Amino acid sequence: MTQVNAYQSIKVSNNISNKLNDNLVIEAPLQININEEAYTVVMRTPYNDTDLITGLLYAEDIYRSNEPLSFNITTKKDNHHDIINVTIDKEKIGKGYLNKRTLLSVSSCGICGKKEINDIQVSGKPIKNTYTLSSNKIQQMFLQMTSLQFTFKSSGGSHACALFNKNQKLLTCKEDIGRHNAVDKCIGSLLKEKDLNSAKIMLVSGRVSYEIVSKAFFAKIPIIIAVSACSSLAVDFAKEFGICLIGFSRDDKMTIYANPQYINY
């Protein structure tokens, strides 16, 4: 399902203008409530919202139980503005809820809503990985992800994330206007299917920030491969937490920034 709206535009080329309709990826607010109390607002592309919330609450250490979450969805009439309440037993709410987000969580920002600089720290034991990937499989996986980027093909304005198992079998692929949202949707989808442990490789269509690395770390995914650049903090986190981080993976080229022993090249 494509997630775009048509907008009238004027395109100019060689001093010639044409009026036409242009498909733009939808960006709309999603208010997330926990036990009827507002938690945060996320700017996202609609659809797969419960996957997004499941992945987000997992990454934020708010809910990591195996029991399914209960969702109550209220849809506003004004352009995909939804409110979703998540019911969680108070005894099962994780410590991450104490760092309650008080700001608008923007889809392209990794640290929006964090109260203090220490809030961006991730703690835990490094991933103990025994899985290795042949570099000649990477472009084949990207081709699979690209073939499912219907919203991007229609609008040119969405990001994608895809998760694969140890045999390079595609497990899930999601699109969203936000890089982090696409990751959350993928992780949330596999959490709901109770198949997150199968995920060994994460492909992302954009750049990698520290937060994407932290989401992979919590999900125990040892390899991240990106089309675009990696931030310095993403590389630092990847080295510390045992994640192979690859950027600028295009055609037959790639740049390995952390834990190259996971790749046979």
pLDDT digits (tens, 9 = 90+) for 107-121: 555 555 554 545 556
E-assigned strand segments in the chain: 4-13, 16-25, 28-34, 37-44, 70-75, 82-87, 133-134, 159-164, 170-176, 201-204, 223-226, 244-250, 253-258, 263-264
pLDDT band with cut points at 50, 70 and 90 for residue 122: low
Cβ proximity of 60 and 112 under 8 Å: no
Q: pLDDT confidence of 168, banded at 50, 70, 90?
A: very high
Tokens standing for residue 236: 């630092």
pTM for this structure?
0.83
> Can you give the pLDDT at residue 115?
45
Alpha-carbon dihedral angle through residues 12, 15, 19, 21, given to the nearest 10 degrees: -20
3-state percent breakdown (helix, strand, coil) of the chain, nearest 5: 30, 35, 35
Q: Residues 6 or more apart from 246 whose CB is under 8 A from it?
A: 138, 223, 224, 225, 226, 254, 255, 256, 257, 263
Q: What is the mean pLDDT of residues 243-263?
A: 91
The SS3 call for residue 28 is strand
Query: What rounded mean pLDDT belongs to the chain?
Result: 87
Q: What pLDDT score was predicted for residue 35?
A: 93
Q: How far apart are CA 29 and CA 27, in angstroms?
A: 7
Q: Is the dihedral of CA 28, 161, 149, 54 positive or negative?
A: negative
| pLDDT at residue number 120 | 54
Report the range of poorest mean pLDDT among 74-78, 80-84, 221-225, 230-234: 74-78
Q: Is the pLDDT of residue 27 over 50?
A: yes
Confidence (pLDDT) at 117: 43
Domain with CATH 3.40.140.10 in the chain: 133-264
Query: 18-32, 175-189, 227-241 — which is least confidently predicted?
Result: 18-32
Q: How confident is the model at residue 43 (pLDDT cuts 50, 70, 90)?
A: confident
pLDDT number for residue 101 = 58
Mode of pairing for the β-strands spanning 201-204 and 223-226 = parallel
Spell out a b/e string for 20-42, using b for 16 or more CB atoms within 10 Å of the CB, else e: eeebbbbbbbbbbbbeeeebbbb
Q: Check if the beta carbon of residue 259 is closer than 8 Å to that of residue 245.
A: yes
Confidence of residue 103 (pLDDT cuts 50, 70, 90): very low
Each as own residue / partner, the long-range contacts of residues 4-7 (CB below 8 Å, 24 or more positions apart, any chain) are 4/151, 4/154, 4/155
CA distance 249 to 140: 12
CA angle at 23 for the pair 18 and 25, rounded to the nearest 5°: 145
* Higher per-residue confidence, 111 vs 159: 159
CATH class, 133-264 region? alpha beta
Active site residues: 109
> In the chain, what is the greatest distance between 2 CA atoms, to the nearest angstrom?
65
Q: What is the pLDDT of residue 118?
A: 54
Between 118 and 86, the more confident residue is 86
Least confident of 90-104, 188-202, 237-251: 90-104
Tell me the per-residue pLDDT of 217-245, one tens digit each, with 9 for 90 and over: 999 999 999 999 998 889 988 999 999 99
Give the up-direction half-sphere exposure of residue 74: CA atoms within 13 A in the CB hemisphere.
9
Angle at 43 between CA 37 and CA 45, to 5 degrees: 120
pLDDT of residue 172: 98
pLDDT at 174 over 90: yes
